[in-house]
Amino acid sequence: MVTLTLDQLSARYGRRRILAEITTPAFAGGQVVALLGPNAAGKSTLFRRILGLLDGEGEARISGATTERPVAYMPQDTGANAVLTVFESVLLARMQGRSLRVRAEDLSEVERALKDLGIAELGARDIGDLSGGQRQLVGAAQALVQAPEILLLDEPTSALDLHRQISLLSILRRLAREREMLVIAALHDLGHALRFTDQAMVLESGRLVACGPTEQVVTPELLRRVYRVDARIEPCSKGRPQLIVEAAV
């Protein structure tokens, strides 16, 4: 099973240090990990550093991977106006680094990714015609179609309506379990983090301030210190922890 361990991971943009010596225990395949932190905490930079898109000290150590490119990354949506259908845009994500010849297996994988995310009906649509939320789901399909062992998602629910947020996170958790895939998702909704993730790591100004099981990490103290909000966490009628935000500090 694949594992990812961050060891003293740092990153700089010019002279400005964005990440400072991030060290975590090994995250294993099958888990969903929430990457939390306020704006500009360094979450996207951490993803780019794990992918090797940025240089810096330290190491993101991947063990037990069985494929050549075990990591897939879904960046924050920036929109695109290419003359491509959704099906083609997902296919090209799968075909990177491969020959120009598309096999039946590649088409099946595209279909499966679209179906997994509940957007099979969008296949023939032009990507320029999609809403922000639909684009975000297509972005997730582009990452999933690469059959990753580690899936990094940068704010995958930011443009989705509530139904699709719950749906996407449920799907990702199910796929993580079924495929023994490690999913790390940057999330702003701590309620979602409590409900859908196993582990959480919290960044503040480029430093890791907490890491561990989500329920132990997301506490009123942390919310006050990092997010500067007064909040309570109480069990709901079904016994799940529920986040109740009272006021900004």
Partner 1 sequence: MHAGTSAAPTPQAAPSAAEKRGFYRALVLRRQLILAALTLALFLSLCVDLALGPARFGLDEVIAALVTPEAVSQQARVILWEIRMPVALMALVVGASLSVAGAQMQTILSNPLASPFTLGISAGASFGAALALAFGVAIVPAAVDYVIPINAFVMAMLTAFAIHALSMRRGVTIETIVLLGIAMVFIFNALMALIQFFASQQAVSAVVFWTMGSLTKATWPKLWIALGVLAVVLPLLARHGWALTAMRLGDAKAESLGVKPRALRLEVLVLVSLLAAIAVAFVGTIGFIGLVGPHIARLLLGEDQRFFLPGAALCGALILSVGSVLSKVLIPGTIIPIGIITSLVGIPFFLFLVLSHKKASW
60 or 143: CB nearest partner 1 = 143
Measured between alpha carbons, how far is 34 from 190 in angstroms, rounded to an integer?
Answer: 9
Q: Is 40 helix (H, G, I), strand (E, B) or coil?
A: coil
Query: Closest approach of Cβ 37 to partner 1, in Å?
Result: 19
Instruction: Give the interface segment with partner 1, choosing from 5-13, 16-24, 76-84, 183-191 (CB under 8 A).
Output: 76-84
Does the footprint of partner 1 cover residue 157 (CB under 8 A)?
Answer: no
Does the footprint of partner 1 cover residue 213 (CB under 8 A)?
Answer: yes
Q: Is 4 exposed, middle or buried (0-12, 13-18, 19+ CB in 10 A)?
A: buried
Total residues contacting partner 1 (rule CB under 8 A)? 66
Subset of 184-203 contacting partner 1 (CB under 8 A)? 194-198
The distance in angstroms from the start CA to the end CA of the chain is: 43
Q: What b/e sequence results for 187-220 when a residue is b if at least 16 CB atoms lie within 10 Å of its CB, and e otherwise? A: bebbbbbbbbbbbbbbbbebebbbbeebeebbee
Does the footprint of partner 1 cover residue 25 (CB under 8 A)?
Answer: no
Q: Is 157 helix (H, G, I), strand (E, B) or coil?
A: coil
Subset of 228-247 contacting partner 1 (CB under 8 A)? 239-241
In sequence order, the β-bridge partners of residue 247 are 230
Measured between alpha carbons, how far is 29 from 135 in angstroms, rounded to an integer?
Answer: 27
Query: Closest approach of Cβ 235 to partner 1, in Å?
Result: 10
What phi, psi does 183 have (nearest 5°)?
A: -110, 125
Measured between alpha carbons, how far is 110 from 151 in angstroms, rounded to an integer?
Answer: 17
Considering only residues 85, 180, 205, 220, which one is a binding residue for partner 1 as defined by CB under 8 A?
85
Query: Closest approach of Cβ 77 to partner 1, in Å?
Result: 9
Find the largest Cα–Cα distance for the chain. 57
97 or 234: CB nearest partner 1 = 97
238 or 248: CB nearest partner 1 = 238
Query: Closest approach of Cβ 73 to partner 1, in Å?
Result: 4
Angle 193-196-110 (CA atoms, 0-180°, nearest 5)? 115
Does the footprint of partner 1 cover residue 103 (CB under 8 A)?
Answer: no
Does the footprint of partner 1 cover residue 29 (CB under 8 A)?
Answer: no
Query: Closest approach of Cβ 212 to partner 1, in Å?
Result: 12
Considering only residues 9, 114, 187, 190, which one is a binding residue for partner 1 as defined by CB under 8 A?
114
CB atoms closer than 10 angstroms to residue 125 = 15
Query: Which positions touch partner 1 (CB under 8 A)?
Result: 32, 51, 53, 69, 72-76, 78-85, 87-89, 91-93, 95-98, 100, 107-108, 111, 114-121, 123-124, 126, 128, 139, 142-143, 146, 163-164, 166-167, 170-171, 173-174, 194-198, 213-215, 239-241
